[in-house]
């Protein structure tokens, strides 16, 4: 059974980037990665990766301060309250940013070529992988034995 309070990302992926907590897309995934890294079970997942950094830039939260709060054993609900206190964002801002992040993609030609190469290797018949969220979901699935 998967224990989300103490995730082992060597055995299963973190929650999808699309899962929201308090309207924030990616926050549950970030929490899973941080908890796993703290426990020494992060596997190939990294805390404060470029996608995490987009969350920190939007909220104005320091990654080290957040990691310290997570280390204190706070639940998802408690972490959400802490994030809301630190970020001071309105719900409409959170929703707009979350919608944007779900659609965020590679940008220029080089990024699109890179994304196409990953899709070609993992799921060559897929034509629906366009954003980083799409790619992360595919990669999580394939990394744990799924066939793209």
pLDDT, tens digit, 9 for 90 and up, residues 12-41: 999 999 999 999 999 999 999 999 999 999
Instruction: Report the pLDDT value the prediction gives residue 49, as an integer from 0 to 100.
Output: 93
What parts of the chain have a pLDDT lower than 70? Answer: none
The pLDDT score that the predictor gives to residue 140 is: 93
pTM (predicted TM-score):
0.91
Six-digit token string for 84: 């809301």
Q: Where are the domains of the chain?
A: 1-104, 106-148
Q: What are phi and psi of 25, to 5 degrees?
A: -70, 150
Residues 6+ apart with CB under 8 A from 88: 60
């Amino acid at each position: 059974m998967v224990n989300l309070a103490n995730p082992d990302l060597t055995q299963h992926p973190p929650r999808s980037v699309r899962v929201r907590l308090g309207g924030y897309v990616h926050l549950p995934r970030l929490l899973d990665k941080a908890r796993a890294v703290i426990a020494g079970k992060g596997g190939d997942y990294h805390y404060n990766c470029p996608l995490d950094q987009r969350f920190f830039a939007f909220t104005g939260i320091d990654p080290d301060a957040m990691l310290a709060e997570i280390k204190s054993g706070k639940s998802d609900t408690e972490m959400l309250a802490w994030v809301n206190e630190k970020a001071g964002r309105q719900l409409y801002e959170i929703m707009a940013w979350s919608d944007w992040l779900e659609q965020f993609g590679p940008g220029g030609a080089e990024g699109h070529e890179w994304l196409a190469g990953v899709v070609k290797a993992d799921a060559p018949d897929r034509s629906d992988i366009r954003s980083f969220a799409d790619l992360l979901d595919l990669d999580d699935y394939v990394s744990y034995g799924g066939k793209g």
